[in-house]
Amino acid sequence: MNELLNRIASSAEIEPDTAQQSVGYILAYMREESSDPAVEEMIGGTPGASDAIGRVGDTDFGGGGIMALGAKLMGLGLDMGQIRTVAEELVAYSKASASDDTVNRAISSVPALSQFV
């Protein structure tokens, strides 16, 4: 996971701690919004993913959908370009760890998420 966080931090020009929180929020959102087992397979197959979720604390999105996720990420100080970078790097890393098919299924099972990755 340190490899991913350092890559995200460098690409998005953010701190590694912010990168970890961002990853945690994205994965927690996926878990909340989808009942497809592929999401859990993606989380389980991505090194450090469960830890990232555990470190963000409040993962309740209150039924606000993708806008609630965006609000949490912007609350960390990220702009839309940085959010896209975080998501793209997370997806690439997860595909290398958990498999393309699993990650593609997980993403497509979450409403509105595919437009951001």
- Whether residue 78 is predicted with pLDDT greater than 70 in this model: the reply is yes
Domain total of the chain: 1
What is the mean predicted confidence (pLDDT) over 5-31?
Answer: 95
Any domain includes 60: yes
Residue 116: per-residue pLDDT = 67
Average pLDDT score, the chain: 92
> Higher confidence at residue 64 or residue 90?
90
Any domain includes 116: no
The full DSSP string for the chain is -HHHHHHHHHHHT--HHHHHHHHHHHHHHHHHH---HHHHHHHHHSTTHHHHHHHS-----TT-HHHHHHHHHHHTT--HHHHHHHHHHHHHHHHHHH-HHHHHHHHHTSTTTGGG-
Residue 84: pLDDT band with limits 50, 70, 90: very high
Segments forming the whole domain that contains residue 91: 2-109
Any domain includes 95: yes
Any domain includes 115: no
Any domain includes 101: yes
Any domain includes 59: yes
The pTM assigned to this predicted structure is 0.94
Any domain includes 37: yes
What is the mean predicted confidence (pLDDT) over 32-55?
Answer: 95
Any domain includes 71: yes
